[in-house]
Amino acid sequence: MCGIAGFCAFLAGAAEPEAARAALRRAAGALHHRGPDGSGVFLEGGTGLAHTRLAIIDPAGAAQPMRRREGAREGVLVYNGELYNTAELRAELANRGCAFTTSSDTEVLLCGLLREGAAFLRKLNGIFAFAFWDGERLLLARDRLGVKPLYYAMENERLLFGSEPKALFALGLQPRLDDNSLRELFALGPAHTPGNGVFRGVREVLPAQWLNMTPGGLRSGFYWQLQSLPHSHNEVETIETTAFLVQDAVERQMVSDVPICTFLSGGLDSSLVTAICAQKRREQGGRLTTFSFDFAGNDDYYKENAFQPSRDAPFAAEMAEYLQTEHVQLECDNLALADLLEPAMLARDCPGMADVDASLLYFCTIVGRQFKVTLTGETADEIFGGYPWFRSPQAFAQRRFPWSDMEARRSFLRGDVLQQLDLDAYAQAAYDDSVAQTPRWAGDSPEAARRREIAWLNLQWFMQTLLDRMDRCSMSSCLEARVPFADHRILEYVWNIPWALKYKDDTVKYILRAAGRGWLPDSVLHRPKSPYPKTYHPAYEALLAERMRDLLRSPGEPLHTYVDPKKAEAFLSAPSDYGKPWYGQLMAAPQRIAWFLQFNAWLKQYF
């Protein structure tokens, strides 16, 4: 994995070379954590490209920016990602006369773009964000499901782009805040409207989108769209096809010239990924290393609730024993978790999932000292329908985001801020617009059509939030986290499986569990969903409350512009309810305090 950044200006003309190169080097420096193994810049007229490299495929070669000529065409590429069908693409291009000097997917992508242009995107199976320059146009593109991030902005007729917003700021863009930024944070956060970069003027390239910058301006389009179609397979065929797609995706994503590991929670999704990886490693004569995560004090303070019915540790240990992996359990304490709230915010350039992010950052930092690549079970719940709101009558009846409690969001905010921003209207408009984009099939019953809406909301919002979290926390630790369930072939197939098969015999993710038979013990195969762990230690919440009160007592803190001290103190003094999240399944009372601590740090850092 890598970091990319750059600019393109036609009407603005060429920048002074030394100043332009200095800006590119600053952008590369801002993304050093994404690629500490090397960096490079390219400058031609008004176009500049910067790259930082985390060397995973062909570590000795394949430096970027990569330059290549095919016939009369020459191109330069900076690329962040992995192609999982490199071998097939390389063979196809070789048959058409392409000669390769490296074993990298970067060279395959560059050759394909020179031969076919943006049409080559439709052939790719992978996770990627890239910029391709051919002397006449700059092409930006992002993978189908949005696993790898890519941001851009227009400033003085220049297109600026980067893997993270901090790269845009290193290129000279001034971070700015407006009412829509605040609405994104307070009404929707930690999610954000697809394409919205939160900072004023910052946009995000959408999943499966391309942008083309030419002297005529900026154009965009999509090379892939999810389609709603009738499902033609019976139950046995559906299970067999799902099992094949999952196994093929995992095995493809094990490609690496450096050692890999997996995150193993002991849940269905990560256990299935790990089981496939472990078998493949045994066939190769090796042993897989696995990591699980927990928090100091959870042996004593964990509280079972409807959203988190069981702890991961016993199941992770059982799976590690079952698969004979080299297993490591990592533990985070209260002080480390609280101290990482600000670094986690900086990793995402925005307040995020509070200590849910901070803990992942902590664990990735440790794993990243030993490995450059890990495989995870992320996105299976969004694709296979694992969350409670996929089957909740309340979620079907209410016309709003089912994972978001709007009332809880007002608990800290000043009355004038609430009146100015009208958060309810903003959230409702975002919901309505998203639902209107749901891929439809005329043969769906009203109930099936509503189920597609719920599933679409999860893909557009909840899944994107978790993918962004995983990318930014892992890459901040020089660790590439791969997500095999986010293979577009799996999504295309599972999207059209009828709900009666996805949720058969009152079994959540029935098809995936059936596909996992033979890979997992029954205790894990049928384990109820329990999300990513969090701490239940009361001392952690007390520590957060103390830090929040310190801010409330300091009138110079930017938080006071938005937070009502009396409301905040009333919240801090009230009994906590860990079983009533205000976002998703994890962000309850302590995470609300932690989020506002992140928000204050964000204001101080960027504004």
Catalytic residues: 2
The tokens for 237 are 């065929």
Distance, in Å, from the CA atom of 131 to the CA atom of 48, rounded to the nearest integer, reads 10
Cis peptide before 65 (omega within 30 of 0): yes
Q: List alpha helices for 349-422, DSSP H.
A: 355-368, 380-384, 393-397, 406-409, 415-421
DSSP annotation of 529 reads P
Residues paired with residue 261 on neighbouring β-strands, in sequence order: 289, 374
For the CA atoms of 204, 206, 210, 213, what is the dihedral angle to 10 degrees? -20
Q: How far is CA 68 from CA 95, 108, 130, in A?
A: 18, 11, 15
Give all strands of the β-sheet with 260-263 in edge-to-edge order: 326-332, 289-295, 260-263, 373-375, 480-482
Q: How far is CA 206 from CA 145, 162, 427, 460, in A?
A: 9, 14, 20, 10
Neighbours of 562 (CB within 10 A): 20
Q: Of 102, 49, 38, 51, whose CA–CA distance to 75 is shortest?
A: 49
Report residue 128: phi and psi, to 5°.
Answer: -165, 155
The CA distance from 149 to 143, in Å, is 9
Query: What span, in angstroms and rounded, lies between the C-alpha atoms of 158 and 253?
Result: 36
In 3-state terms, what secondary structure has residue 74?
strand
SS (H, E, C) 23-38: HHHHHHHHCHHHCECE
DSSP-derived letter for residue 227 is -
- With b meaning 16 or more CB within 10 Å and e meaning fewer, what string describes 398-414? eebbbbbbeebbbbbbb
How far is the C-alpha of 67 from the C-alpha of 328, rounded, in Å? 42
Close Cβ partners of 128 (under 8 Å, ≥ 6 residues apart):
79, 80, 81, 82, 83, 109, 141, 142, 143, 148
For residue 358, what are its two tokens?
A: 């901070």
Beta strands 73-83 and 66-70 are antiparallel
Distance CA 377, CA 176 (A): 36
563 sits in which H/E element: none
Tokens of 578: 């860990």
User: Can you read off the two tokens belonging to residue 169?
Assistant: 């700021």
